[in-house]
Chains A and B, each alone.
Chain A
Amino acid sequence: MIDMEIRGEDRILFMKYALPCAGTLVRRGIVDRDRIERLVDLVKENREIPSGEEKIFKVAFAACSLMAMDEKRGFIDSSVVRRYFLSGHDDVIERRYEEMGDFDPEECRVRTGTVVDVEDNFAVVKNSSGTRKYRIDFAQSIKKGDEVITHWDFVVEKVI
């Protein structure tokens, strides 16, 4: 694959959006859960992620690469990452569901919601799928009333 570069904070942002999908990869036997939880910890602690780990998410990384290419950018930046996951991602998951059929596309949707409560490692978020708990490893400073992005069982980030 032609490598499109992703750097520093942009790479961490990509991992925050992509890692919540990893449950599907674990179920398919592509990666083990320990490797994913190690990556979650690295992202949470803002530590260096080993080179190439973003390519575990081959499809999302390819889609971001094409978006960056189409916009004549030399690398994937945070605006590409957000645009992909907040808009292009829905089309990709519909197609992936047709191709694979082994995940719940509704769970995979990236949504915006409002924090209604925060407890230890979780936030209760109300969004278009209802009201439920999400892990806040990637957004530990959120508080009640914040608008946040959710993906699978994670809060990805506060809406900026």
Chain B
Amino acid sequence: MCITTPGKILEIEGNKALVDIDGTISEVRIDLVTAAVGDYVYCASGMAVEKAEIK
């Protein structure tokens, strides 16, 4: 179950972020990562599970 997809954080509001994942904008929970707008996070099922070191 655990392949995750990287996406770029476009906007953060509270514990949720709008993330661009391969051109699709999704809302994901970001409670489990420390990340800011512009950072990349690995996402699965509406959750950011890891920060990605992609620039």
Where the two chains meet, the residues of A that have a C-beta atom closer than 8 Å to any C-beta of B are 1-2, 4, 21, 24-25, 28, 30, 56-60, 62-63, 65-66, 69, 91-93, 95-96, 99-100, 103, 108
Residues of chain A within 8 A of B50, CB atoms compared = 1, 58
Interface size, chain B (Cβ < 8 Å): 17
B3 and A62: CB pair below 8 A?
no
Residue contact A1 to B49, C-beta cutoff 8 Å: yes
Which residues of B approach A to under 8 Å, CB–CB?
Answer: 1-5, 29, 31-34, 44-47, 49-51
Using a Cβ cutoff of 8 Å, how many contacts connect chains A and B? 63
Q: Are A30 and B31 closer than 8 Å at their CB atoms?
A: no
B53: shortest Cβ distance to chain A, in Å?
A: 13
Q: In the assembled complex, which residues on chain B have CB atoms less than 8 Å from the CB atom of A95?
A: 45-46
Q: By the criterion CB–CB under 8 Å, are B31 and A25 in contact?
A: no
A1, A4, A28, A100 — which one has the most chain B CB atoms within 10 A of its CB?
A1
Residue in contact with B45 in the complex, picked from A21, A96, A108, CB distance below 8 Å: A96
Asked whether, in the complex, the Cβ of B44 is within 8 Å of the Cβ of A62, the reply is yes
Q: Bound state CA distance, A71 and B44, in angstroms?
A: 21
Provided the pairs A1-B50, A95-B45 are in contact, do residues A65 and B32 lie with their beta carbons within 8 angstroms? yes
